[in-house]
């Protein structure tokens, strides 16, 4: 697999072959069961392979989706995060310009970055630019300064991405003196 840690930071990239292989094995196993049920239970002819057509198309669809995955490869550095813009090129974001950086979801994990100021991104981004540039629709932002990067199947793994984000993100400032946890006197 190679070294993922570079002198500049920690690199996360697509894993098209592994994702396609895993999905192909899963789809093929499921379709084999469907095929056997059709032959044994419903008495269909063994040479009727119309139910196996999805198994042939699934790998091609997965390759197409993986190639259109916006934001990958990405690099986490001590200074910030470097993403690949959906339209091409790199986008560098300093950690002090990131309000939220977390991986959400288990089955379909997504890296969510909420930016403070789009003008401090190198090169500067316009409001909603990330969503407009992502033609695949896989990185649907929920706000004008939000960037969403699908990270299912990244190498070296989503767990490692979560750990690196936790390690590199600055700690949240403590609540104001004499106030509660939420800064207004309440608990949360």
Residues 81 and 54 in one domain: no
Domain end: 27, 47, 67, which one?
A: 67
Residues 87 and 163 in one domain: yes
Residues 49 and 62 in one domain: yes
Instruction: Round to whole Å and give the CA distance between 100 and 188.
Output: 18
* Single pTM value for the model: 0.63
Asked if residue 5 is part of any domain, the answer here is no
Give exposure, 66-105, as e/b (b: 16+ Cβ within 10 Å): beebbbbebbbbeebbbbbbbeeeebbbeeebbeebebee
Which structural domain range is residue 85 located in? 71-168
- The number of folded domains in the chain is 2
The pLDDT averaged over each successive group of 10 residues in the chain (188 residues) is 55 70 74 82 76 68 64 86 84 93 87 91 79 53 80 85 85 50 47
Residues 160 and 128 in one domain: yes
Residues 78 and 42 in one domain: no
Residues 80 and 50 in one domain: no
Asked if residue 78 is part of any domain, the answer here is yes
Helix, strand, coil content of the chain in percent (nearest 5): 35, 20, 45
Choose among 109, 107, 113: nearest CA to 141: 113
Please name the residues in contact with 56: beta carbons below 8 A apart, sequence gap of 6 or more.
none
Asked if residue 47 is part of any domain, the answer here is yes
């Amino acid at each position: 697999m190679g070294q993922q840690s570079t002198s500049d930071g920690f690199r996360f990239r697509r894993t098209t072959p592994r994702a396609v292989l895993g999905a192909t094995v899963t789809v093929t196993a499921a379709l084999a069961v469907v095929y056997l049920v059709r032959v044994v239970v419903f008495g269909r002819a063994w040479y009727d392979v119309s139910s196996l057509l999805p198994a042939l198309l699934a790998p091609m669809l997965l390759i197409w989706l993986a190639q259109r995955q916006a934001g990958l490869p990405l690099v986490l550095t001590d200074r910030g995060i470097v993403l690949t813009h959906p339209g091409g090129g790199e986008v560098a974001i300093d950690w002090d310009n990131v309000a939220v950086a977390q991986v959400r979801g288990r089955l379909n994990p997504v890296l969510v970055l909420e930016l403070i100021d789009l003008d401090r991104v190198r090169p500067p981004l316009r409001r909603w630019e990330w969503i407009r540039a992502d033609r695949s629709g896989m990185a649907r932002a929920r706000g004008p300064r939000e960037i969403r990067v699908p990270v299912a199947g990244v190498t070296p793994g989503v767990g490692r991405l979560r750990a690196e984000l936790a390690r590199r993100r600055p700690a949240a400032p403590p609540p104001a003196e004499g106030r509660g946890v939420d800064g207004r006197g309440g608990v949360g």
